[in-house]
Amino acid sequence: AQSVTQLDSHVSVSEGTPVLLRCNYSSSYSPSLFWYVQHPNKGLQLLLKYTSAATLVKGINGFEAEFKKSETSFHLTKPSAHMSDAAEYFCVVSVWIKTSYDKVIFGPGTSLSVIP
Residue of 25, 34, 63, 74 interacting with other proteins (CB under 8 A): 34
Residue of 1, 28, 43, 53 interacting with other proteins (CB under 8 A): 43
Nearer to other proteins, 58 or 115 (CB): 58
Q: How many residues bind other proteins (CB under 8 A)?
A: 25
Least separation in angstroms between CB 94 and other proteins: 5
DSSP secondary structure, the chain, as one string: --EEEES-SEEEEETTS-EEE-EEEE-SS--EEEEEEE-TTS-EEEEEEE-SS-SEEE-GGG-EEEEETTTTEEEEEESS--GGG-EEEEEEEE---TT-GGGEEE---EEEEEE-
